[in-house]
Amino acid sequence: MNYVSTRGNAPAQTFSHILLGGLAPDGGLYMPEVYPGFSPDDLAVMRDMDYRELALTVLARLADDVSIADLKELVDRTYTAATYGHGRADSAFGEITPVRRLEDGLYLLELSNGPTLAFKDMAMQLLGNLFEYALDKAGQDINILGATSGDTGSAAEYAMRGKKNVRVFMLSPLEGMTRFQQAQMYSLQDANIHNLVARGVFDDCQDIVKAVSNDLEFKTRYRIGAVNSINWARVAAQSIYYFKAYFAVTESNDQKVSFAVPSGNFGNVCAGHIARMMGLPIHKLIVASNENDVLDEFFRTGVYRPRSAAETAHTSSPSMDISKASNFERFVFDLTGGDSAKVRELWHAVDQGGAFDLKQHGLFDRVADFGMVSGKSCHKDRMATIRMAAEKFATVIDPHTADGLKVGLEHRDAGIPLVCLETALPAKFEDAIVEALGRKPERPAGLEDLESLPQRYEVLDVNTETVKAVIAAHAND
């Protein structure tokens, strides 16, 4: 099976070919030429599989140019109880993504028991192993350059640490991350991990990454790569836990399930959409926005109007403070029935800083056919939901998960199980939990003294040339 660009002006490619890249050369995102489908008979067999077997079954269809034996080795090495059980090999986390029952018909899907306590570990750990495998086969190396406001950077660093032929240069802002998030990244001592702290804000970091990537000579010479959320392998790997959760909360494949997903770049909920396109009986995919409600506005009105960085609010669910949902183009591509000329037309306006209105294109009615609905949660809602979950379900949830639960409950249907995705553990966002509950959240064992570990980072001015010089100096380490 091949992958094509949403913009239709790039050659079709295999999974291995698009693995190490980001955008397609025409500026679009890669999508499967046709979705592999799981029939009711397939689903019946998959119902009894554990996480690794499910991962292999799904990925074998999506990464069909990697040999099954190699894929199995990679999957078995990635999805272990030690990695997804707060480091404890003997843990009760053998299910990898356990489902916690909150009340009848309402569940929390635990996705945050990996090394950095956020769901991004689910795909990123696999990506680390896939990168190492592919680079080794090709005899190449890569310098991964990224910018982070918290969760992505740490997930990438923990996935790539110690990997052969991979170096990571991660830009983070001097202020803006929680102390816990800073300590997670800066305490890594691996020689191939470079924390570059910019005297600026997250957008400054992102601008530097863009400037470096736009220097094609430098990019080619130093083999600059990315692990951002538009990477197809990340989205593909995230679809696995929708299958796992579906089987965990149903008894038969005649049942349907709804999922509530705290959303920013639309990667996580896009993975649910992909699972649905592959045949998983999903009722609703509930997109939860925070105060930065670009996505909620779209699902209510049909208007997609990305905001500028200056218009982006800094909220207490910071990993959703995103004003341009980079994976959204994938969903619109499917909504148009794979009409890349239409996608080009729509994104022509977006790429110029504008907007589009799907109603004017006669396409908005189709959104309902894909089961997508949305809602919005603000600081007050978030605090109230964290308190409600603690009192009613004896469960402390993080601020992002609270946004998902709040919006999920608004779209709950009688008789249909609702699964809320836990995108981070509360320990990562201590201040918000203290504000809501008046006490600190629990920390997984072993992380009690994280902030007092020695830290390793380099503080730099916001300057593209300085960052290039750091990369050049380490490119042959």
Ligand X SMILES: *Cc1c(COP(=O)(O)O)cnc(C)c1O
User: Which range in 261-269, 346-354, 356-364, 374-382 contacts ligand X by CB under 6 A?
Assistant: 261-269
The structure tokens listed for 97 are 């993504």
Q: Does 120 bind ligand X (CB under 6 A)?
A: yes
d(CA 363, CA 379): 33
Residues 299-328 that bind ligand X (CB under 6 A): 319-320
Residue with tokens 């292999």: 56
How many residues form the binding site for ligand X (CB under 6 A)? Answer: 16
Choice from 111, 248, 423, 432 touching ligand X (CB under 6 A): 423
Do the beta carbons of residue 20 and residue 142 sit within 8 Å? yes
The answer to the question of residue 266 lying near ligand X (CB under 6 A) is: yes
Look at residue 265 and give its three-state secondary structure.
coil
- The least distance separating ligand X from the CB of residue 400, rounded to whole angstroms, comes to 4
Name the residue nearer to ligand X (CB basis): 239 or 319: 319
Amino acid at 58: V
- Contact call for residues 403 and 242 (beta carbons, < 8 A): no
Q: Does 267 engage in binding with ligand X (CB under 6 A)? A: yes
Counting contacts by CB under 6 A, is residue 265 touching ligand X? Answer: yes
| Residue type (1 letter), 331 | F
State which H helix or E strand residue 420 sits in.
strand 418-422
Q: Please select the residue that binds ligand X; options are 115, 225, 264, 426, rule is CB under 6 A.
A: 264
Helix (H, G, I), strand (E, B) or coil at 210: helix
Q: Is 154 in the site for ligand X (CB under 6 A)?
A: no
Indicate the residue among 133 and 202 with the shorter CB distance to ligand X: 202
180 part of the interface to ligand X, by CB under 6 A: no
- Here the tokens at position 208 are 């530097």
Compare residues 198 and 424 and give the one whose CB is closer to ligand X: 424
Report the largest interatomic distance among the alpha carbons of the chain, rounded to a whole angstrom.
60
Task: Choose the stretch contacting ligand X; rule: CB under 6 A; options: 49-57, 264-272, 339-347, 456-464.
Answer: 264-272
Residue 350 CB, nearest approach to ligand X (Å)? 17
Piece of 45-53, 57-65, 190-198, 256-264 that binds ligand X (CB under 6 A): 256-264
Comparing CB distances to ligand X, the nearer of 222 and 259 is 259
Which member of 120, 244, 284, 468 is catalytic? 120
Decide if 91 contacts 240 (C-beta within 8 A).
Answer: no
Candidate segments 18-26, 178-186, 246-254, 265-273, binder of ligand X by CB under 6 A = 265-273
66 or 261: CB nearest ligand X: 261
DSSP string covering 184-204, please?
HHHT---TTEEEEEESS-HHH
Applying CB under 6 A, which of residues 116, 149, 229, 336 lies at the interface with ligand X?
229
State yes or no: residue 408 binds ligand X (CB under 6 A): no
Give 199's contacts (C-beta < 8 A, 6+ positions apart): 174, 459, 460, 461, 462
Number of other residues whose CB lies within 10 A of the CB of residue 39: 9
**At its nearest, how many Å lie between ligand X and the CB of residue 229?**
5
Binding to ligand X by residue 424, rule CB under 6 A?
A: yes
Radius of gyration (C-alpha) of the chain in whole angstroms: 21
The dihedral built from the CA positions of residue 177, 180, 186 and 190, taken in this order, carries a sign that is: negative
Consecutive H or E run containing 289: strand 282-289
Residues β-bridged to residue 346 = none
Under rule CB under 6 A, residue 374 binds ligand X: no
Instruction: Match 């991990």 to its residue by tokens.
Output: 193
292 binds ligand X per the rule CB under 6 A: no
Shortest approach of ligand X to residue 53 CB, angstroms?
25
392 flagged as catalytic: no
Residue 131 · residue 104 · CB < 8 Å:
no
Question: Which part of the chain contacts ligand X (CB under 6 A), choosing from 92-100, 176-184, 260-268, 334-342?
Answer: 260-268
228 binds ligand X (CB under 6 A): no
Min dist. Cβ of residue 268 to ligand X (A): 4
CB 75 within 8 A of CB 55: yes
In the complex, which residues of this chain contact ligand X (CB under 6 A)? 118, 120, 151, 229, 262-268, 319-320, 400, 423-424
Active site residues: 120
